C-alpha cells in the first residue's frame, strides 16, 4: 500500500503490474479491496486501485463527488500519468463522470462498470436520505445487511451464502460519517447524461443481468449515447458483477484492454 496526502488527508492506493495504466475506482460502501478478484488484470496493464476518502485505508470524509474527483486527479498527477484507462464501479462511475467533465484529456479509454449516468429520481434521493437517518439512528449494521440484498443477484442470495458473506465483509462498516457522506454525495450528484455524447474515447460498459441498483436499461442508455461504445451484460450477476462472476468480468475487461494496444 502506498499513499498521497491532499489537503492534509491521507489517501491510500495500490499500484501493481506494468504496461498501460488502468485506474479502477471502487463503489459505495466498498474500498479498493473489492477489486481483489481483478488482480489477474495486472498482467494486461498497470493496475492502480485507490481508496476514496473515508473508505478503506484513506482518511477524511467524503463531502461531494467533485471532491472525490479532485482526489483522483491528485493521484493521477502524483503518478505522472499523461493518460490512463479509467474505470468506475457504481459510485466510482459517478466520480468518473465528474472527473471526465474536467479532465477528459487524461482518459485513454473509459470503463463504466455497473453504474449509470442519470441523477437520482426524487424518490431515489429520498431513499438515500432515509438511509442516512437510519444509519445515524441505529448504526450501519442493519442498513448494510439490507444493502447486500440489493447488490447481489437474487440467485446469488439464494444459492451462494459464502459469497454473500464475502460481499458484506468487504463493506465499510467502521465509519458512520463516511457512509453518511457517501450517501449524501450520491443524492446530490448532477445528471451526467449530457456528458455521454462527448465521450470520444473507447468505452466499455459492463452490467450484471440482474443488477437491481444500476439496471441493464441504464447501461443501454449509456451505450446508445456514447459513440462506438461496447456493452457487455454479465449473466448470473447482480450489481457486484466483478465479485459474482469474476472470470466473465475479467475476460470482458481483458479483451477490451488488449484491443486498445
Active site residues: 90, 211, 239
For residue 19, report the phi and psi dihedrals to the nearest 5 degrees: 110, -160
Q: Which residues partner with 109 through β-bridges? A: 85
Q: In what order do the strands lie in the sheet with 2-6?
A: 2-6, 9-16, 46-50, 21-25, 84-89, 107-113, 203-208, 230-234
Burial of 33 (0-12, 13-18, 19+ CB in 10 A): middle
C-alpha cell at position 109? 479509454
Q: How far apart are CA 34 and CA 256, in angstroms?
A: 20
Q: CB neighbours of 47 closer than 8 A, spacing ≥ 6?
A: 14, 15, 16, 17, 22, 24, 35, 38, 39, 41
Burial of 123 (0-12, 13-18, 19+ CB in 10 A): exposed
9-16/230-234 β-pairing: unpaired
Q: How far apart are the first and last CA of the chain?
A: 28
Amino acid at each position: 500500500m502506498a499513499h498521497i496526502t491532499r489537503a492534509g488527508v491521507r489517501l491510500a492506493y495500490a499500484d501493481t503490474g506494468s504496461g498501460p495504466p488502468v485506474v479502477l475506482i471502487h463503489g459505495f460502501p466498498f474500498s479498493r479491496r473489492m477489486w481483489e478478484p481483478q488482480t489477474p488484470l495486472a498482467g494486461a496493464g498497470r493496475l492502480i486501485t485507490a481508496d476514496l476518502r473515508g473508505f478503506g485505508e484513506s482518511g477524511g470524509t467524503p463531502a461531494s463527488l467533485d471532491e472525490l474527483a479532485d482526489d483522483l486527479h491528485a493521484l493521477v498527477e502524483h503518478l505522472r500519468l499523461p493518460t490512463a484507462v479509467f474505470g468506475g464501479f457504481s459510485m466510482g462511475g459517478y466520480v468518473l463522470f465528474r472527473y471526465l467533465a474536467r479532465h477528459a484529456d487524461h482518459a485513454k479509454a473509459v470503463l463504466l462498470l455497473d453504474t449509470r449516468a442519470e441523477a437520482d429520481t426524487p424518490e431515489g434521493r429520498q431513499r438515500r436520505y432515509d438511509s442516512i437517518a437510519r444509519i445515524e439512528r441505529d448504526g450501519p449494521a442493519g442498513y448494510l445487511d439490507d444493502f447486500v440484498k440489493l447488490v447481489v443477484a437474487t440467485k446469488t442470495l439464494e444459492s451462494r451464502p459464502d459469497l454473500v458473506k464475502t460481499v458484506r465483509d468487504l463493506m465499510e462498516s467502521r465509519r458512520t460519517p463516511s457512509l453518511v457522506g457517501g450517501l449524501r454525495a450520491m443524492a446530490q450528484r448532477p445528471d451526467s447524461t449530457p456528458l455521454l455524447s462527448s465521450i470520444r474515447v473507447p468505452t466499455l460498459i459492463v452490467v450484471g443481468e440482474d443488477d437491481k441498483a444500476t439496471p441493464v436499461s441504464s447501461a443501454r442508455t449509456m451505450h446508445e449515447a456514447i459513440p462506438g461504445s461496447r456493452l457487455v451484460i454479465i449473466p448470473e450477476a447482480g450489481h457486484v458483477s466483478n465479485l459474482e462472476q469474476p472470470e466473465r468480468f475479467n475476460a470482458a475487461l481483458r479483451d477490451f484492454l488488449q484491443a486498445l494496444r
